[in-house]
Amino acid sequence: MQSTEQILASAPGSSQLPSTSQTPSRVLVVEPHPTLRTVLVQRLRQDGHLAAAVGSAVEAVDLCREQSPDLLVSAEILEQNTAMRLAQQLGCSVIVLTARSGVEPLVSLLDEGADDVLRKPFGLEELAARCRTLLKRGRIGLQEKVAVGPLEVHLLLRQVTLSEKPVELSPREFALLCALLMPPGMVRSRQELLRLAWPPFSGGPRSVDTQVLTLRRKLEQAGLGEGGGITTVRQQGYRFSIDNI
């Protein structure tokens, strides 16, 4: 079976990718509507991405058995699945495309861990710009793994282990942990954590406090100790303290 990258590279139109010194990003579009997914993947290829499109979550999982994409662009509701669950399965960042109106659905998706949300109908150039921003952010300071004591964060795989045992985190919790760990011991204000772990112009101080609380609980339950290694620094923010490990 071909790898994900081989399939993406051999997809129609991929031979037109502009040359670049940096490895092209792998972007997977999951959209039930055939015309829309074709238009989206063609626009993403114009930016030099190795882009492919499928119509269902089952096809997405099958395509990505050997290698996860760098970014998932997915319709919110899929047959027998959702964009958020699919992103967790694939272990990648996600831009959710939603047809729901109002502010509450957008806030809910962002709180669940979506890296970005676009409401249909949207402009192709807006989608392309949001993809570039997320992918650029993911390449800054790229490392394969960060280890602090028994805790290991596998950045490329988007996985966390404690004493070699997996710790299940949501995409938002994972991003928050990365922000606290780079470097460990540094105090991060709520505004810094919003900038590092939330999409632009989304969330607020309460969102940070809520996500820190859930992250602490999961790390505690995994056996990291009281507070999960995260300490509150009064009137300043939070820090990951290696002294607590």
- pLDDT of amino acid 15: 34
What is 4-139's CATH number, 3.40.50.2300, 1.10.150.670, 3.90.550.10, 3.40.50.1860?
3.40.50.2300
Tell which CATH classification among 1.10.10.60, 1.10.3720.10, 1.10.10.10, 2.40.160.40 matches the domain 145-244.
1.10.10.10
User: Average pLDDT, stretch 190-194?
Assistant: 85
CA distance 44 to 29: 10
Where in the chain are the domains? Answer: 4-139, 145-244
Q: Give me 220's structure tokens.
A: 């505690």
Q: What is the pLDDT of residues 112-127, one digit of tens each?
A: 889 899 988 888 888 9
Largest Cα span, the chain? 55
**pLDDT surpasses 80 at 12:** no
E strand segments, 155-223: 159-162, 165-167
The bridge status of strand 116-119 relative to strand 81-82 is unpaired
Distances (CA, A) of 96 to 212, 230, 239: 23, 30, 30
**pLDDT of 18-68, one tens digit each?**
333 356 788 999 999 999 988 998 899 888 888 899 999 999 998 888 778
Higher pLDDT among residues 107 and 22, named by residue: 107
The confidence score (pLDDT) of residue 19 equals 33
Cβ within 8 Å of residue 158, ≥6 positions away: 68, 91, 92, 171, 174
Q: What confidence tens digit (pLDDT) does each residue in 79-102 have?
A: 889 999 999 888 889 999 999 988
Question: What gap in Å lies between CA 65 and CA 21, rounded to an integer?
Answer: 27
CB 203 within 8 A of CB 213: no
Model confidence pLDDT, tens digit, residues 133-158: 888 876 543 445 778 888 888 765 67
The model carries a pTM of 0.51
